[in-house]
Amino acid sequence: MSGIGIIGSGVAGLHLGLLLRQHDVPVTIYSEKSAEQLAGGRLPNSVAHHNTTVLRERALGVEHWDLQEYGYFCHHHYLGGPHPLRFPGSFEAPSRAIDYRIYLPKLLEDYQERGGEFQVRPIQAADILPLSEKHDLVVVGTGKGSMGAMFPRIAAKSPYDAPQRKLCVGLYHGIVRSEPRGVTMSVSPGHGELLEIPMYSFEGHVTALLFENVPGGDLEVLANARYDEDPAAFEKLVLEKTQQHHPTVFERIDPARFRLTRPEDLLQGAVVPTVREDYVRLPNGRYTIAVGDVHTVVDPVIGQGANSASYSAWELGHAIVEDPNFDERFCRKVARRRRDRVHSISDWTNLMIQTPPPPHLLELFGAMAENPAIADEFTNNFNFPERQWDILATPERARKFLARHGR
């Protein structure tokens, strides 16, 4: 037996591997991609790390990107409609978005320097059983391929059978950063959201535009338009739709300089939000635990996926160090410890993509526009999703929250 086997070299796998190496636990990460392949290829996402995740990076000794230069400090909200609302909300401590094609290889290097084993090898669900005989515990940290099917979907936590947004995310030049530097969250009622994210990538400080488009709405076309067939037409379409639906972003775009950074810096697609069981018992009586996307898939609309994966890995890693007995008691403990945050992220995200939006969410936005303290609390809770869900879980809770703020 040789320590912990981790399937997947995403943020969950790497944060877990780094944490375990800090405690001298032997670890092997199995990845279908080499370091070079992680650094290349198509834009994988546009994730932000909120400060609670940054603090974990700091504790792991992998905080390579200074927050003053690479971070951002607030959300700029825009809610369109006949009476548009526009208001900021501040974090108590900054967030940060780094292109994962830079981030993951750098952390992989840290991990290997610290004695972590790394094997490039595609792993399928059928490989988990033999690996479980080789390792004290196998952690599944990738939802790719057949893995997801290993962990039963929890229907009560998975309200949608189909994607609620069609996604189009790309990295762009030609957008002046907001002041103070922040993420703009722009809502075009009935059509979807645009998240404009200051991101660091291969071409330096660029801007991610993540269009979250309601199926059947005016913006869905963005998820289907083909950049490679006609780059100029694609960029023109993005510009037009931004002007029409997301004016507070458009007003900072210089149309003459506006362009996708590189052809591969574009990702189109969609996800079905899904919550799965935390662990399964294998035919040999051993257990395997899910972490990250294979455990919960959330729509990227509030940028919580990576934070959920990192948090989940963190709780799992500490449990491994404290109680290295990988039986059902262990699995239940891990599930119990991470449940409130991980499920809150999923529940909150699913509420945000409900169509039409629930009245209490709109009421909350109205209050945020008038009361900066409410907007700041909502914004800072991107670090504490379980507190956000304490506010949003029911209309009664939202009402009590607003009453606490004197409304």
Residues that bind its own copies (CB under 8 A): 323-325, 327, 329, 333, 336, 339-340, 389-390, 393-394, 396-397, 400
Q: Is 179 helix (H, G, I), strand (E, B) or coil?
A: coil
Taking the C-alpha atoms of residue 273 and residue 271, their distance in angstroms, rounded to an integer, is 6
β-sheet bridge partners, residue 125: none
Closest residue by Cα to residue 357 from 241, 247, 193: 193
For the CB of residue 350, give the shortest distance to its own copies in the complex, in Å: 15
For the CB of residue 338, give the shortest distance to its own copies in the complex, in Å: 11
Closest residue by Cα to residue 137 from 17, 21, 5: 5
Taking the C-alpha atoms of residue 190 and residue 222, their distance in angstroms, rounded to an integer, is 15
Residues 6+ away with beta carbon under 8 Å from 66: none
Tokens matching residue 13: 């796998």
Contact 71, 183 (CB under 8 A): no
Helix axes 385-392, 359-370, angle to 10 degrees: 110
For the CB of residue 327, give the shortest distance to its own copies in the complex, in Å: 6
For the CB of residue 325, give the shortest distance to its own copies in the complex, in Å: 5
DSSP string, 127-166: GHHHHHHHSSEEEE---TTTTGGGS-B-GGG---SS-SSE
Smaller CB separation from its own copies, 230 or 322 = 322
Smaller CB separation from its own copies, 121 or 336 = 336
Contact 65, 96 (CB under 8 A): yes
Smaller CB separation from its own copies, 318 or 339 = 339
For the CB of residue 272, give the shortest distance to its own copies in the complex, in Å: 25
Smaller CB separation from its own copies, 124 or 394 = 394
For the CB of residue 122, give the shortest distance to its own copies in the complex, in Å: 33
For the CB of residue 360, give the shortest distance to its own copies in the complex, in Å: 13
Smaller CB separation from its own copies, 144 or 157 = 157
Looking up tokens 């410890």 gives 337
Taking the C-alpha atoms of residue 140 and residue 132, their distance in angstroms, rounded to an integer, is 11
Smaller CB separation from its own copies, 251 or 327 = 327
Residues 6+ away with beta carbon under 8 Å from 309: 10, 11, 12, 15, 141, 291, 292, 293
Smaller CB separation from its own copies, 1 or 162 = 1
